[in-house]
Structure 1
Amino acid sequence: MNKDQVKGRVEETKGKIKEVAGNLLDNEDLEAEGNVQKHTGKVQSSFGDLKDKVKKAVDD
């Protein structure tokens, strides 16, 4: 796992927690912030996955 994969998955998790907390507390701003953070984390982890695939392809 590379740095982008780890950071992305951490951000995804933090975003999901904020999203659920916002939903439970009926706080639309917190829920929206969590949703954005979750999706940002997904993008970053996907970028890390792509970097990993490229590195493996170059190594082979």
Structure 2
Amino acid sequence: MRDLCINRNNHQKPTFHPLGDFLNPALALLGQGLKKSPIGQKLDFANHPYLCKGLYRYIMRRKIE
């Protein structure tokens, strides 16, 4: 479940599906909005395994800035 957005072949590096590249920013914006709401403050969306590795990195970068 962890690599839903990653396509792994035996002899290739991981590549992101176009749909995953499209959804990552949209989901990150949704997560930013939820973090600001009272409900979102009680939940930590960045730790759920269904998030793509790219989305997780994007969210973590946004937290650092």
TM (normalized to structure 2)? 0.36
Higher helix content, 1 or 2: 1
Q: Rg larger in 1 or in 2?
A: 1
Greater strand share, structure number: 2
